[in-house]
Structures are given as C-alpha cells and as structure tokens.
C-alpha cells in the first residue's frame, strides 16, 4: 500500500464527518483485523520515558498476536532514562489496544500502538511509567468522590525553523538558529531574492500569508493529526517571528490527552522534517521574543455536569473551582518542577513576553498564572486555563500533578484570594511586590518539590521513588548548565 497523498488523507478525515475521530478499538482481535484490513506490514510499539520522550521498537505484523496484548514484549529498561538499573534491566511492554492507529508519517504502512510498562517478575505496572501515574491520578479522582472525570485541553506552542546548529566543547560553545520567516533576515542579500513579508518581533499573532509562511505546512500537520484520530479545533501562527505556531486539540480525558500530546509532537517534528525544516518544543529558543507555552485548560465533571460552573460566581466559577484554583496556585512552586521542567523554561517565565509569572487568577487577563476564558456563556464550556506550564513537560506527569494540586485545594478548601483584573505588569511597585511569583529557576522549583510533595503521594499516584528520581535527573541538568561558561559572559566579563 503506497503512502496516501494529502488529497487522499483529506478525503479520509472528511468522510468521518466533520473530522470526528474513529471510535477506538478495544479488543486485541479487532486491532489485528483492523491492521490487516489497512494493509499494515509493521507494528510500532511506543512508550514514554520518565522525562517525557517517546521510545519505540517495531515488529512485523505477522508477529502481532492476541498473546502480545496479554503477555507483552520484553525490552532493556536500563537503557531508558529514569528507568531501571543494569542489574534489574528486564521490562515488559503491553500494548493498549485503544491506542491503535495507522501511523500517519511512516512511509512503510505501520500500525502505531502505545504500551504500558510492567515488571516481568511481579507482573505489576511499573511505578516509574508516566502513563501509569496518569492512570492512577484518574482513578484517584474517581475514588475521591469529588468528580468522575477530568477534561484537558492544552495549547501546545512550538517553533518551525529552517536550520539549527549548536555545539559545546571545553573551549567553545554556540547555537545558531535560522528561519526564512525570521525578521532578522529582512536585510539579507546572498545572491537570491529577498521577498520580505515577515512577522516583526512579537507581531506574529496573526497576519495572513505570505507573512504567515507556514499556513499550508500547518494544514498538512492538521490532516495528519486528524488521520491519527486527534480532533483539531484551530491552527494559527503565534506571536513570535521566526515560525512560532499553535495547533489546538479538542479536549480529552487526562491519560488520553497525554497520549495525544506525544502523538502531536511526533507528527509535527516528522512533517516539518519531511519539508526540510525542523520543529522544536523548547520553551525559549529565541532571545527577545515570546517563548512557547503549554496553557492547560481543564475542568472537573460528575454525572455529566461541569462542576466548575456557577452562574452566580466570579466569571461563572463555582466555589469548588475556586478551591481547585487555590490548590494549583498554592502548589505552583513545586508543580513547576514537572510543568516547567527545564533550565530553559525559566528563560520564558519572565515579565514582558505574555509569560504568566504572577500567582493570581483572573478572567481574560493573560498576565495571570490562571485565566478563566470568557469566550462562551455555556456551562459546558466553563474551565480554567493554567498558563505556567510549557511544552517541554512530560504531559502524563504534568497533568497528573496539576490534578492532584487542584484536588488538594478542594479537599482543604484553599482560598485563592481575590481575582486580579488589571494588567499586572502596570501595577505600582509597592502593589506588585505583594503578588507572589513563580520560581526564578529550575533549581528553585526542585527545592520547592522537595519541601512540598505530600499532596502528590496521596492514593499512591506519585511515589517517593519517582519524585526522588525526577529531582536527581533534573539536578544533573541544572549542574550541566551551571558548570559551563555562557557565551554572553564573554561579552560581559572578558575585558573586566
């Protein structure tokens, strides 16, 4: 079976009815029949490492049997970051049949399956498997009696560049980014036409083509996402020059949305590469322009009713929603160890670039850590938007941690205080100093997580081992940056 053309892909997703995703398969037998009916010849088995990156291995379709879904397939856990030591390396991956889709970017017809990691001796789920942690968080929500489901809608921003070069040695260090769309190329004259029409600094939201040079590329990405069963609501250029973009997925349940975020990244990176470009989810690749966030929309539901809605409350929020906000704001310093988990994350979390550095909530105000969108009066649409996370986060861990913080707020009736409906960047200094802000570095967030993680341990959702391992891995990143000279230090200090 030849790879589908874009026209064929478009016809396929439209025939489903307004881009609706196909109903997930649930039985191994149905998955095998589906794969063979689609002409699949390979099966790609994916799982997520602790830091949030997909790992994979593949088998021929002839090796896929119902037994694989029961017994799993073995792999070396000691070669995966954050997993096993070499003396306990054997692990098992059991595919989840509900995740079966035809891989939308492989040239060879391939079935994609996401798997859960198990211990081969105890046959128990592996405690460091991020997908297991996400599923435990959903189970804890139900056991709490507060709600029976949570819905998640992250806005995952990213850049598409034309080239990237970087290196670091004992006596040098550099990076060099380029984008045909970048405003820094407005004066270029290299023997080829310079056609102009580029978004200026912080003016990429959102002019039509040709200034938005990535319209068709994003549309192709959307078609591939829909082909993979992901419902898409909108796509557009984002604020920064140089190719910043956003594609918004329709809300989903927690674990399923985390699955979709990884498929989203996978498709975007591969479609960009097929066009000779490179996509990154690094929070702050460009100095002097907006970084990429992952604004996380969320709500709690019980028996088909949105628990965040109350027409009498501020911005239509219920008291339960206010307490949920209180828990997130209270625990944000610790949460950011998972939600903004890189040293680069804190290049984004600075004033002046629409970054949410202030730990307050507000309707419509994008300078607040939590915003209550006001686009609709519908009770079903009422939600909160947590703006601090970024796309370098492991979505399974980030969503689970945010949910646990919100539930702690409800259980302990944590008051978030009064909303702040003014531009926080324009407050008088004496007023601004009263507002708590996010940590200024990854090291600060890790220290906060060390002090404040009991709320994550409830119901066995996170374990002390997972938190300790996470802090150990992330401290190595902090040290790696701390020990190396920064290029700008030479500008500041070489002649001192």
| Assigned domain for 434 exists | yes
Residues 241, 179: Cα–Cα separation, whole Å: 9
Question: E-strand spans in 338-441?
Answer: 358-363, 368-372, 384-386
| Catalytic site residue from 30, 33, 76, 479 | 76
Q: For residue 387, indicate whether it is catalytic.
A: yes
**Banded model confidence at residue 489, pLDDT cuts 50, 70, 90:** very high
Q: Which residue has the higher pLDDT, 20 or 100?
A: 100
Do 447 and 396 reside in the same domain of the chain?
yes
Residue 135 lies in a domain: no
For residue 130, being part of any structural domain is answered with no
Question: Residue 141: inside a domain, yes or no?
Answer: no
366 is catalytic: yes
Query: Mean pLDDT across the chain, nearest whole number?
Result: 93
Q: Do 157 and 230 share a domain, yes or no?
A: yes
CATH of the domain at 254: 3.30.590.10
How far apart CA 452 and CA 3 sit, in angstroms, is 50
Alpha helices in 307-394 (DSSP H): 319-339, 345-348
Mark the binding-site residues for Mg(2+), compressed into ranges.
Answer: 155, 157, 238, 246, 295, 385
The verdict on 203 and 343 lying in the same domain is yes
Between residues 6 and 110, the one the model is more confident about:
110
Q: Are 60 and 68 in contact (CB under 8 A)?
A: no
Residue 246 known to be catalytic: yes
Kindly report whether the peptide bond that precedes residue 210 is cis, defined as omega within 30 degrees of 0: yes
Same domain membership, residue 257 and residue 320: yes
Please identify which of the residues 44, 181, 231, 246 carries the catalytic annotation: 246
Q: Catalytic annotation on 385?
A: yes
Q: Give yes or no: residues 94 and 200 share one domain.
A: no
Residue 22's pLDDT band, with cuts at 50, 70 and 90, is: low
Catalytic hit among 371, 383, 387, 453: 387
- Binding-site residues for L-glutamate sit at 290-291, 348, 354, 366, 387
191: left (phi over 0), alpha (psi -120 to 50) or beta: left
Say whether both 164 and 302 belong to one domain.
yes
**Would the pLDDT of 112 be above 90?**
yes
- Which range, of 5-19, 31-45, 228-242, 260-274, averages the lowest pLDDT? 5-19
179 and 54 fall within a common domain: no
Q: What is the pTM of this model?
A: 0.94
DSSP conformation letters of 419-481: ---S-GGGS-HHHHTTS-B--SSHHHHHHHHHHS-HHHHGGGSS-HHHHHHHHHHHHHHHHHH
Q: What pLDDT was estimated at residue 1?
A: 45
Same domain flag for 157 and 73: no
Query: What is the pLDDT averaged over residues 223-234?
Result: 95
Rounded to an integer, what distance in angstroms lies between the CA atom of residue 281 and that of residue 393?
10
Number of domains present in the structure of the chain: 2
Which residue in 16, 250, 256, 366 is the catalytic one?
A: 366
Q: Which domain holds residue 343?
A: 149-494
Residues 356-384: pLDDT tens digits?
A: 888 999 987 777 899 999 888 888 999 99
Nearest partner of 356 among 280, 429, 423, judged by Cα: 423
Span 228-252, mean pLDDT? 95
Q: Evaluate whether residue 227 is within a structural domain.
A: yes
Query: How high is the pLDDT of residue 357?
Result: 87
Q: Is 444 marked active-site?
A: no
The binding site comprises 155, 157, 233, 238, 246, 290-291, 295, 297-299, 348, 354, 366, 385, 387
Is residue 155 annotated as part of the catalytic site, yes or no? yes
The answer to whether 81 is a known catalytic residue is: no
Which of 128, 135, 218, 295 does the annotation list as catalytic? Answer: 295
Report pLDDT for 259: 98
What are the phi and psi torsion angles at 212 (to 5°)?
-85, 95
157 is catalytic: yes
104 and 199 share one domain: no
Read off the pLDDT of each residue in 5-16 and give the average, rounded to a whole number: 72
Does a structural domain hold residue 259?
yes
CA neighbor of 13 nearest in space, from 259, 294, 274, 221 = 221
> Looking at 49, 162, 385, 390, which residue is catalytic?
385
The beta strands (E) that lie in 194-317 are given as 232-237, 244-249, 252-253, 278-280, 294-302, 305-306
Q: Is residue 3 part of a domain?
A: no
The two tokens of residue 138 are 């959903």
Domain contains 256: yes
379-433 pLDDT, tens digit each: 899 999 999 999 999 999 999 999 999 999 999 999 999 998 877 767 777 887 8
Most confidently modeled of 84-88, 366-370, 454-458? Answer: 454-458
Q: Indicate whether 80 and 223 sit together in one domain.
A: no
Q: Where are the beta strands (DSSP E) in 61-148?
A: 73-76, 90-95, 101-102, 110-118
Quote the CA–CA distance of 377 and 167 in Å, as a whole number. Answer: 51
Annotated catalytic residue: which of 44, 157, 181, 390?
157
Do the Cβ atoms of 397 and 52 come closer than 8 Å?
yes
**Same domain, yes or no: 413 and 319:** yes
End of a domain among 62, 93, 125?
125
3 pLDDT tier (thresholds 50, 70, 90) = low
Write the CATH number for 58. Answer: 3.10.20.70
| Residue tagged active-site, from 155, 181, 220, 231 | 155
What radius of gyration do the chain's Cα atoms show? 23
Closest CA to 227 of 281, 179, 270, 198: 270
Catalytic residue among 162, 238, 390, 443: 238
Considering the domain architecture, whether residues 119 and 166 belong to the same structural domain is answered as: no
- Which positions make up the binding site for ATP? 233, 297-299, 366
């Amino acid at each position: 079976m030849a790879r589908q053309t874009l026209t064929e892909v478009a016809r396929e997703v439209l025939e489903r009815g307004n881009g609706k995703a196909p109903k997930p398969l649930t039985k191994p037998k149905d998955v095998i029949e589906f794969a063979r009916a689609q002409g699949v010849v390979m099966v790609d088995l994916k799982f997520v490492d602790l830091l949030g990156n997909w790992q994979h291995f593949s088998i021929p379709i002839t090796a896929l049997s119902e037994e694989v879904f029961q017994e799993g397939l073995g792999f070396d856990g000691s070669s995966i970051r954050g997993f096993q030591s070499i003396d306990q390396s054997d692990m098992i991956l059991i595919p989840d049949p509900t995740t079966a889709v035809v891989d939308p970017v492989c040239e060879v017809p391939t079935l994609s399956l996401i798997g859960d990691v198990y211990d081969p001796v105890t046959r128990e789920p592996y405690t460091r498997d991020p997908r297991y942690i996400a599923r435990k968080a959903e189970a804890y929500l139900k056991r709490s009696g507060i709600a029976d489901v949570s819905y998640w809608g992250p806005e995952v921003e990213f850049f598409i560049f034309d080239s990237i070069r970087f290196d670091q040695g004992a006596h040098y260090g550099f990076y060099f980014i380029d984008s045909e769309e970048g405003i820094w190329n407005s004066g270029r004259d290299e023997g080829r036409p310079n056609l102009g029409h580029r978004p200026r600094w912080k003016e990429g939201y959102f002019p039509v083509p040709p200034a938005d040079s990535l319209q068709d590329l994003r549309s192709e990405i959307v078609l591939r996402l829909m082909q993979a069963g992901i419902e898409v609501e909108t796509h557009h250029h984002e604020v920064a020059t140089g190719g910043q973009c956003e594609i918004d997925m329709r809300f989903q349940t927690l674990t399923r949305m985390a699955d979709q975020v990884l498929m989203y990244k996978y498709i975007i990176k591969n479609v960009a590469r097929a066009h000779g470009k490179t996509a990154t989810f690094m929070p702050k690749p460009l100095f002097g322009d907006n970084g990429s966030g992952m604004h996380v929309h969320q709500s709690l539901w019980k028996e088909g009713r949105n628990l965040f809605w109350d027409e009498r409350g501020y911005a239509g929020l219920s008291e339960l929603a206010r307490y949920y906000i209180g828990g997130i704001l209270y625990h944000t310093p610790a949460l950011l160890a998972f939600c903004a988990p890189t040293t680069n994350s804190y290049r984004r979390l600075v004033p002046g670039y629409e970054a949410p550095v202030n730990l307050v909530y507000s309707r419509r105000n994008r300078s607040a850590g939590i915003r209550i969108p006001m686009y609709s009066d519908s009770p079903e649409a009422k939600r909160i938007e947590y703006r601090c996370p970024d796309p370098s986060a492991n979505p399974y861990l980030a969503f689970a941690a945010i949910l646990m913080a919100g539930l702690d707020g409800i259980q302990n009736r944590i008051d978030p205080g009064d909303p702040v409906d003014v531009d926080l960047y324009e407050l008088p200094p004496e007023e601004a100093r009263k507002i708590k802000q996010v940590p200024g570095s990854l090291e600060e967030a890790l220290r906060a997580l060390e002090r404040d993680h009991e709320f994550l341990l409830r119901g066995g959702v996170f374990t002390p081992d997972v938190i300790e391992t996470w802090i150990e891995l992330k401290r190595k990143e902090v040290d790696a940056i701390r020990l190396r000279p920064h290029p700008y230090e030479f500008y500041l200090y070489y002649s001192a």
